[in-house]
Copies of this chain bind each other. A is one copy, B any other.
């Protein structure tokens, strides 16, 4: 029985099982501002209302989380987190409007790029 002409062989690179990967970040003046890690930290601050809690979720010390937030703000030139007095575990923290906005934008940016990655790779490598 002859091969059916409507049954095409699997595209060559499907057999190769290649997987595209992407790393995204955002810089200002060559300095790192937003990345998956940084935005995750900021998002935890927004969700928990506490930098100490956000640090714990990220497996970071409070000091390191605090330093990371300040580094992002310094590189960006904007406040992203407002903290009330109280020190570690004491006062609460919340995202500023700039912080809320950048977290939301970065997450949409990341989702859009993941969609583009899958589409471009499929279009080029699997056909």
Contacts and interface: CB of A to CB of B under 8 A. Distances in A.
B109 A16 contact: no
A63 B116 CA distance: 37
Interface residues of A, number: 32
A4 interface: no
Interface in A78-127: 78, 105, 108-109, 112-113, 116-117, 120-121, 123-125
A123 B13 CA distance: 32
Contacts of A77: 16
Interface string A2-30: 00000000000100111111111111110
A27 B19 CA distance: 5
Copies of this chain held together in the complex: 2
A18 B22 contact: no
A21 B21 contact: no
A45 interface: no
A76 to B, nearest CB: 7
Interface in A22-80: 22-29, 33-34, 76-78
